[in-house]
Amino acid sequence: MNGRINQALNTQIHMELESSYLYLALSAYYDSKDLPGFAHWMREQSREEYGHAMRLFDYLLTRGAKVDLDTLGKPADGFTSPVIAFERVVAHEKRVTEAIHKLYLLALEEGDLATGVELQWFIQEQVEEEKSVSEVAAQLRWGNGEPMGLLMVDRDLAKRE
Confidence at residue 121, expressed as pLDDT on a 0 to 100 scale: 98
- Widest CA span of the chain, in angstroms? 53
Task: Provide the domain limits for residue 58.
Answer: 3-72+80-157
Residue pair 5/106 in contact (Cβ under 8 Å)? The answer is yes
| Domain count of the fold of the chain | 1
pLDDT band of 83, cuts 50, 70, 90? confident
pTM value > 0.85: yes
* Residue range 95-111: mean pLDDT, rounded: 98
CB atoms within 10 A of CB 32: 10
Confidence at residue 15, expressed as pLDDT on a 0 to 100 scale: 97
CB atoms within 10 A of CB 80: 7
Confidence at residue 150, expressed as pLDDT on a 0 to 100 scale: 86
In the predicted model, what is the mean pLDDT of the chain? 94
* C-alpha distance from residue 37 to each of 34, 48, 126, 137 (Å): 9, 16, 22, 14
Predicted confidence (pLDDT) per residue in 107-161, tens digit: 999 999 999 999 999 999 999 999 999 999 998 888 777 788 888 898 999 998 8
CATH at residue 137:
1.20.1260.10
